[in-house]
Amino acid sequence: MIITIDGPAGAGKSSIARRVASELGFEFLDTGAMYRAVTWGVMQRGIAWDDVEALVQFADAACLVWQDDRIYLDDQDISEEIRTPQVTSHIRHLADPPKIRERITAQQRRIATGRDIVTEGRDQGTEVFPDAHCKIFLTASPEERARRRQQQLAQNGRAMTVEEILTAQNQRDLEDRMRPVGRLRAASDAIVLQTDGMTPDEVRLEVLRLVRERLEASATNSASGGTSA
């Protein structure tokens, strides 16, 4: 069973997805971390961002493992290294080329096969898992998302003003919505949840309620279909 949680940067997807997965007894898959890991690896090796063929070859050869909320690239735990502004500013070079997305998407589907998964990202419900059992689209105003990001960075010992974060975030939003493949958008059958003014616990409880409601409806429909057959 697959549950997707999509939304813009700073909407709280990762933290909510982790907590929802834990409460449901599902596994959590941070697909954004996979793109960040490949981006970090490219930066470490000095591959030119405009050398698409070399980027594709690296994405093909990269050994990515997601285990216990940690991301490994070629057996190296880089869970902290991938969360820097430098990595964030270069993700588009890996997220835009269709050939690279195809390879990383295939890895995401492979990891999810036969598992109960809560996965989060930008295009999980639209491109990666279009047949997911439940799709949630989390969003909030740009200002609210920037404030949340500032608090998250402060907890990790990094200081940025809300204005700095908002400027970078607005650029990221524009790029995410303009991408030719995997652009940011809510799936037609996704439940859109606006979270301005909500605490993390309130968001968590509402997502859990929506997920359980959707899963119960799906189970009822399946049972009815089976009976009528």
125 annotated as a binding-site residue = no
Of 166, 168, 140, 178, the closest CA to residue 84 belongs to 168
> Would you say 14 is a known binding-site residue?
yes
7 labelled ligand-binding:
yes
Q: Is 114 annotated as a binding residue?
A: no
The β-bridge partners of 72 are 65, 77
- Whether 224 has a binding-site annotation, put simply, is no
Task: Say how far apart CA 80 and CA 71 lie, in whole Å.
Answer: 9
User: Residue 9 annotated as binding?
Assistant: yes
Residue 13 counted as an annotated binding residue: yes
Identify the DSSP state of 188: T
- Taking a C-beta distance cutoff of 8 angstroms, is the pair 187, 137 a contact? yes
Buried/exposed code over 65-104 (b: 16+ C-beta within 10 A; e: otherwise): ebeeeebebeeeebbebbbeeebbebbbbbbbbeebbebb
- 3-class DSSP assignment, residue 3: strand
Q: Which segments are annotated as binding site for ATP? A: 7-15
Binding residues, as ranges, are 7-15
